[in-house]
Structure 1
Amino acid sequence: MMISLRRMNAILQKDFKDFSRNLAVSTVLIMPIGLGAFYGRGGVNSIEAHYMLINLAFVMIATFVQCCLIAEEKEKNTLRGLMLSPASTTEILGGKSLLTFILTMITVSITAYLADYRPANIGVIALAFILSSFFYIAVGTLLGLFSKSVMEASVIVMPVVAVFSMGTFLPTFVDQYPFLKMGMYLPNIQLIELAVKVEAGGGFGDVLIELLIILAWTIILCMLTAAIYRKRMVD
């Protein structure tokens, strides 16, 4: 089936209008950017600190905003109309994710720049950022499908924000609590390990395992989200 870029663009424009009207959601852009400027002025220059900000930007924009956009469609009873429209699942979910993806990449880039993070290999880091954004958007879409309103979405996303932002410091507790080793395979932790290897001079081949783990998480979440979406279509 051919994907209609016109339909996806129409969904993108609608989401942009909804996003610009909802100040409660749009103001979340300020938090990671403001923290990035604060860290940059404070001279904080560790990988862990940089990636706490970057992971926070991912989860606050890609997950929180996406979750609220989907929940708002459900609250206004417009998501059902999209489901019953000629647009395919790929067109709808892709269109609903375009605005979030653009905002995420812009916010993460500005946050990293203000925090004075200059990766040794920007190509590898950019690829990792793109894969990570897809993962966080999939998480946001999935949570949005389970939310009935924007208010509920704001609450249900909080544990995810905590895990994927503050979870950056998980490696420091692994020696004390061995059961946390499973958490080392989370995408946010893999992103940090990838960044450490890049700063040590590693190239694409050196971080392939980390990229594949993030990609695997992304594929699993995308498949799960698509399955839940299709189930909602026949509810």
Structure 2
Amino acid sequence: MKLTMVSALLLCLGLASTGLAETWTAEELSEYSQSEIEAMGDDNIQLQIAYWEWRKAEADARIDGLMPQVTPLRDTLDELEARIAELQSEINALRAEIERLRSAGVQHLIQDGECLWLIASYHYNYNDGSKWPLIYERNRETISDPDLIYAGHYLWVPLPMLSSYTVVEGDYLGKIAGYSRVYGERGMWPQLYEANRNIISDPNLIYPGWVLEVPRSGTFGGTR
């Protein structure tokens, strides 16, 4: 008896992958008529459909069972994302405030024995004592007499942020990065190092007189 290719394949394969139906050899199939073989093939197909529908229903049931656990996790995730957005907004506001304060100048805590001339003469301020009137004018609301200032009080020193810095005795990258006119944060020293790799081979070894670029954007190079 001659079998159609489709019928023979269906019946030879059967449901071997599922283990739910027996399989037949071509020799065994030769004992059946064409119509019987096709009927057997249809039965196998229906059985496979039923099997995979059962597997799907089982998977759906497992998903439904997990939903009570998934839903609270989704709610928690939504709450965390909302909190992250709030924190990011707070960070942005703080950054804006820092920039506003920096544009107004940097604060200096008056120490015993200091005067406006001495404060102006510091290398990280003006490096020129004769510029003390700039500090006085900026603080007229709190200083009535430029010759009379008190330790423990704060002064605003109207200074732009530095784009370069000349190394002095006792400086190191962390100290320089910590200056208010540089970054105001010692931990940012790697930015100075990376921007001045053309002159700095060892970040622990810098020399007075070197002019370091203070990168605000992009990459620069210092000079010796």
TM-score (norm 1): 0.19
**Per residue, is there more strand in 1 or in 2?**
2
Q: Highest Rg: 1 or 2?
A: 2
Higher helix share: 1
Instruction: Give the TM-score normalised by structure 2.
Output: 0.19
